[in-house]
Structure 1
């Protein structure tokens, strides 16, 4: 199943000369020389995207833009999915802040995950992929959610003594940076970069 983003956040705007330098010649020929490229972070699956902006359009770093099917107001074309290593240093610096913003704004989605997460293998639970969660804390989480479902990030914080936002943000960043073969929240990286 292909995961498609509807909205994304602007990580970086690349001047045409830098974007042209990084793109393979075959792809470069498809776009006008003065195309403005941007790197975006998807809101739903944390997919890294390279897009072209519509002529004359300006975007701000951190701005939420529509990238779904149909008429887009600022994004012209989605060029390709990219990897973390394709990001420029300023985009890498902005990435944790935007991931945190997305997680905080989608609290119910992640609270539901804490209530429903299950094992990945016979010997490993999803919670163990969160930095700092070992077997003892895993048992505590499972016992607490069995008593009653978690209601909010604050409820998780109070009952477990952990910061759920920090746990999820660190996991997402780890997945985007391809540090682990398991993907709980982010889209796996593209198989091939063009």
Structure 2
């Protein structure tokens, strides 16, 4: 055979055939297995402290409160008690006698302190500007039974506020020699631009220089001479200054502290 015919008769083998499973075969393949599950390790439970009894807490609180109260009382008893400024006062001027409330509003003479007084039973109603003894000697108290305490301008009635300047002015005029010597005849410059007379209401630098010139070297003999020479009401102006300082405790300088008490 020639080469071409030989190629046509060549048989190509089909290769190995895969074995087919028998229908009666009972063998099963083992299924694929994954990762084995591991059971979690149980955590130990935390220990619980027994709940405290409420009775014990209440007892502890009450004991602590008692100790605190005792310590506070001990501190209060150990503190020195402050004396009221009214204990140093002896005389006061009546501003108002309220018979309905059985109370007197007055101003002390030594430091110009507003105070509340309890009058004695059965006394005649006291007039404005009346002078009463409020000292520590109870036998010398003719009109006053008890000193109730201090007050201020913001707590008194309007008619008391209106009468207070007049009461202070009368007190100044009755003690004119003290205020002439302690203020009007010795007042000088507080600074290069301000004179002490300018502390008075309505007195500027020009008016203050006129008062200094009128005073001269001999000074004023009385308030009336001062008023006539300077065309002012010195008692009224000084009373207004005192009233302003009573209303404002921070006002400086304070003529109340410089000029009081009155030296007889």
Settle same-fold status: TM greater than 0.5. Answer: yes
Aligned with 1:184 (options 255, 261, 264): 255
User: What residue number does 1:57 align with?
Assistant: 123
User: What residue number does 1:125 align with?
Assistant: 195
Is the partner of 1:116 in helix, strand or coil? coil
| Structure-2 separation of matches of 1:14 and 1:41 | 15
More strand by share: 1
Is the partner of 1:151 in helix, strand or coil? coil
User: What residue number does 1:79 align with?
Assistant: 148
Kept in 2, the 8 Å contact 1:8–1:41? The answer is yes
Kept in 1, the 8 Å contact 2:99–2:125? The answer is no
| Structure-2 separation of matches of 1:95 and 1:50 | 14
The 5-angstrom pairing of residues 17-166 of structure 1 reads 36-62=102-128, 63-71=130-138, 72-112=141-181, 113-120=183-190, 124-166=194-236
Q: Is 1:7 the counterpart of 2:94 in the alignment?
A: no
CA shift at 1:40, angstroms? Answer: 0.6
- TM-score (norm: length of structure 2): 0.55
| Structure-1 separation of matches of 2:114 and 2:225 | 31
Q: What do the CA deviations read for 1:140-177 (whole angstroms, capped 9, x no partner)?
A: 33333342111011221232222212211221222233
| TM-align CA RMSD | 2.8
Q: Is 1:169 the counterpart of 2:235 in the alignment?
A: no
Kept in 2, the 8 Å contact 1:47–1:186? The answer is no
| Structure-2 separation of matches of 1:180 and 1:136 | 27
Structure 1 unaligned segments of length 5 or more: list them. Answer: 19-35, 188-194
Q: Which has the higher contact order (CA 8 A, sep 6+)?
A: 1
Structure 2 unaligned segments of length 5 or more: list them. Answer: 1-84, 259-264
| Structure-2 separation of matches of 1:186 and 1:87 | 23
| Structure-2 separation of matches of 1:179 and 1:66 | 26
Is the partner of 2:92 in helix, strand or coil? strand
**Structure 1 residues 155, 51: CA separation in 2 closer, same or farther (over 3 Å shift)?**
same
Is the partner of 2:112 in helix, strand or coil? coil
Deviates further, 76-85 or 134-143: 134-143
Is the partner of 1:128 in helix, strand or coil? helix
- TM-score (norm: length of structure 1): 0.71
Larger Rg belongs to: 2
| Structure-1 separation of matches of 2:201 and 2:249 | 12
